Amino acid sequence: MAYFVLFGNLSSENAREQAAGGIVLVSFVYLTLLYLRRDVMGSLKRIRRVLEQHPWQLISAAHRPDGVKDVMGVPVQLRYREGEELTGLMSARNPLRRRHWPEELEHGAWYAGQVWQAGGARTRGFGVLAVPGGGELMEVSRETAVRR
């Protein structure tokens, strides 16, 4: 529609060609950006699915262990309740900033997702971490980090 309105207002053939080129260029840039950020869109889709199926619960801590490296995000261990053992290593990543770690998570966090199944606290799950007070979501997955 905007294409036809734009062409109706342009009088010269040269101006119409430039406008058509501009529309093609803007469309190409938009599609390129969508393609480059498809990982973000996929992450947000997975986060949405988890939040549709699992309620939020307050956990006592999300700990970033020392001496652990994670290529895809930040290594993390969760403590679901005070006094319980930490989970095994998991990988947490923010859809926009992969290796960003909010320090507030060490003092408690909101978690939605799979919690330990048979096997106790060492069983890894998949879910979403949120900083208390809102603002930041992190996708947590079973992809484990590697100790250095």
Average confidence score pLDDT of the chain: 77
pLDDT-based confidence at 115, cuts 50/70/90? low
Q: Of 76, 65, 54, which Cα lies nearest the Cα of 127?
A: 54
Higher-confidence residue: 98 or 17? 17
Q: Of 84, 90, 83, which Cα lies nearest the Cα of 65?
A: 90
Higher-confidence residue: 50 or 85? 50
The answer to whether residues 42 and 20 touch, using CB atoms and an 8 Å cutoff, is: no
Region 67-77: mean pLDDT is: 82
Percentage with pLDDT > 70 across the chain: 79
Other CB atoms within 10 A of residue 42 CB: 12
Half-sphere exposure of 75 (CA within 13 A, CB side): 17
Region 27-51: mean pLDDT is: 81
pLDDT at site 7: 53
For the cut 60, the answer to whether the pLDDT of residue 138 exceeds it is yes
